[in-house]
């Protein structure tokens, strides 16, 4: 059991009010709030240790370098990666996917090859592959989803062929909450000689992750969804894959030697980190991972699973609601999309905001999935470790208030 009351005390923003009501923050799939330990790490770094890293020979530069590289080791431990050599810091998960698409994709894909994706991908794991397919002549193929929002694994079996060079898919859908069976998908891809890329942007903050147990070749996530700062993404890849890949960006830091006409590359992972990185935010991200691990990812998962089940039960009790994705259970996380009959999700979001309840409404950067669901948009509530059942009750009350308000205005208009 999580001591949520205690945890909440670490998050200063959770004490604020919005429109005169205590904030209920249920937009965690977009970004999570930050504990004071992370905020203090940022202030502490700029107050005490700020310097550029790797090149310096003075004390501050050494401190900053040790803290930055320490965060890399921390990230490797969090993901159970074999070593920090497989951890590259980028700007966000999107950039990490683009790095693989551009560096690996352009060099390894050709006409006749296939990239296998799914219908539930975020644009971040769709558009980079569309771009690389266009550039190389490779084809895109898609695993469909069932009406309850699960991947059709029998379709995966059919579509995975010797032509498939990469299977790139989300671990947890940011719309449906579906948790995909990564180890099974990766094992099948491996048998067919295809690489796997896992978009863990939504799972990394909520589930224990072990890249070796999952058996994937690449996994990406974003610090800002994991209690860390914005501006930091993680690319984990098997070392031999990173060794074989050319750099994504050229410049300082990523070189071994440079002549006027050519250059040689630094070792991994620095080969992929051109220019001055986001030093302070990477260091604070390491503190966020300490925070998550101190509480324990299995405990976080258990808490959020309970909260999700409670939220889905309460939402289901409402009349005229459509809930998307699988029922609460083993293969579901806490991103809960819904629509209320006759109400536009944006109106629902605005009405909830007036009650101090922050959710998201829109296409959630998953337009092909919206088309598959037959809607333009959904409302989405998404939970994190600091949310409580009382906050779910506030969500339900706010939805009730919104329905009453809009029904009244419809009647007045009629
Ligand atoms: N994949 C998924 C499933 C996501 O939910 C998101 C963020 N909404 C991303 C990728 C992209 O993350 P970022 O914007 O931090 O790059």
For 397, the enclosing helix (H) or strand (E) is helix 389-413
Question: Does 314 lie in the same domain as 286?
Answer: no
Question: Does 371 lie in the same domain as 344?
Answer: yes
Question: Does 289 lie in the same domain as 300?
Answer: no
Q: Is 170 in the pocket of ligand 1 (CB under 6 A)?
A: yes
Residue 195 three-state SS: strand
What is the best residue among 27, 124, 220, 278 to mutate for testing ligand 1's pocket, by most ligand atoms within 8 Å of CB?
124
> Nearest to residue 214, comparing CAs of 193, 186, 240, 190?
186
Question: Does 266 lie in the same domain as 211?
Answer: yes
Question: Does 280 lie in the same domain as 148?
Answer: yes
Range of the domain at 312: 4-30+296-413
Question: Does 172 lie in the same domain as 142?
Answer: yes
Residue nearest to atom 5 of ligand 1 (CA): 174
| Residue-wise DSSP of 252-271 | SSSEEEE-SS-EEEPPTTGG
Ligand 1 centroid to Cα of residue 94, in Å, is 6
Tokens 């409404």 correspond to 361
Going from the C-alpha of 301 to that of each of 103, 219, 267, the distances in angstroms are: 34, 19, 36
CATH of the domain at 222: 3.40.640.10
Per-residue pLDDT, 413: 62
Question: Does 100 lie in the same domain as 175?
Answer: yes
CATH of the domain at 321: 3.90.1150.10
Q: Which residues of the chain have pLDDT under 50?
A: none
Of 240, 267, 293, which residue constitutes the final position of a domain? 293
Query: Over the stretch 36-51, which tens digit does the pLDDT of each residue have?
Result: 999 999 999 999 999 9
Per-residue pLDDT, 56: 77
Question: Does 351 lie in the same domain as 329?
Answer: yes
Q: What is the pTM of this model?
A: 0.97
Q: Is 92 in the pocket of ligand 1 (CB under 6 A)?
A: yes
Q: Is 337 in the pocket of ligand 1 (CB under 6 A)?
A: no
The domain total for the chain is 2
Of 266, 293, 320, which residue constitutes the final position of a domain? 293
What is the best residue among 125, 365, 380, 384 to mutate for testing ligand 1's pocket, by most ligand atoms within 8 Å of CB?
365
Query: Over the stretch 288-335, which tens digit does the pLDDT of each residue have?
Result: 999 999 999 999 999 999 999 999 999 999 989 999 999 999 999 999
Question: Does 330 lie in the same domain as 239?
Answer: no
Per-residue pLDDT, 412: 62
Question: Does 347 lie in the same domain as 210?
Answer: no
Per-residue pLDDT, 410: 62
Query: Does the bond joining 148 to the residue before it have cis omega, within 30 degrees of 0?
Result: no
Residue 353 three-state SS: helix
Residues 6+ positions from 101 with CB-CB distance below 8 Å: 128, 129, 131, 132
Per-residue pLDDT, 411: 63
Question: Does 133 lie in the same domain as 259?
Answer: yes
Of 293, 308, 326, which residue constitutes the final position of a domain? 293
Question: Does 65 lie in the same domain as 21?
Answer: no
| CA pair distance 16, 358, nearest whole angstrom | 12
Q: What positions carry a catalytic annotation?
A: 365
């Amino acid at each position: 059991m999580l001591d949520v009351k205690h945890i909440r005390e670490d998050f200063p923003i959770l004490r604020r009010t919005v429109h005169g009501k205590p904030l209920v923050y249920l937009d965690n799939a977009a970004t999570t709030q930050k504990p004071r330990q992370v905020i203090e790490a940022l202030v502490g770094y700029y107050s005490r240790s700020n310097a550029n890293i790797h090149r310096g020979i003075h004390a501050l530069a050494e401190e900053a370098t040790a803290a930055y590289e320490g965060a890399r080791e921390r990230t490797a431990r969090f993901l159970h990666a074999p070593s920090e050599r497989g951890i590259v810091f980028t700007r966000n998960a999107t950039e990490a996917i683009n790095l693989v698409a551009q560096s690996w994709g352009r060099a390894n894909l050709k006409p006749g090859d296939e990239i296998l994706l799914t219908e539930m991908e975020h644009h971040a794991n769709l558009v980079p592959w569309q771009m690389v397919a266009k550039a190389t002549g490779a084809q895109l193929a898609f695993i469909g989803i069932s009406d309850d929002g699960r991947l059709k694994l029998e379709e995966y079996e059919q579509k995975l062929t010797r032509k498939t060079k990469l299977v790139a898919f989300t671990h947890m859908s940011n719309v449906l909450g579906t948790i995909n069976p990564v180890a099974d998908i990766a094992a099948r891809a491996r048998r067919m000689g295809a690489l796997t890329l896992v978009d863990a942007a939504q799972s990394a903050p909520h589930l224990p992750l072990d890249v070796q147990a999952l058996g994937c070749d690449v996994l990406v996530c974003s610090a800002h969804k994991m209690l860390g700062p914005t501006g930091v993404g993680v690319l984990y890849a098997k070392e031999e894959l990173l060794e074989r890949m050319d750099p994504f960006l050229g410049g300082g830091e990523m070189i071994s030697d440079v002549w006027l006409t050519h250059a040689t590359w630094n070792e991994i992972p620095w080969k992929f980190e051109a220019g001055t990185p986001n030093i302070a935010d990477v260091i604070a991200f390491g503190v966020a991972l300490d925070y998550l691990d101190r509480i324990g990812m299995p405990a976080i998962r258990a808490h959020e699973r309970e909260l999700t089940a409670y939220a889905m039960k309460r939402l289901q009790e409402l009349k005229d609601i459509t809930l998307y994705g699988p029922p609460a259970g083993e293969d579901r996380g806490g991103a809960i999309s819904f629509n209320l009959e006759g109400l536009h999700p944006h109106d629902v979001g605005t009405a909830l905001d007036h009650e101090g309840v922050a959710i998201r409404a829109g296409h959630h950067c998953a337009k092909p999935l919206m088309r598959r669901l037959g809607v333009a948009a959904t409302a989405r509530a998404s939970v994190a470790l600091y949310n409580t059942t009382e906050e779910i009750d506030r969500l339900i009350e706010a939805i009730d208030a919104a329905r009453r308000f809009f029904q009244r205005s419809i009647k007045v208009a009629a």
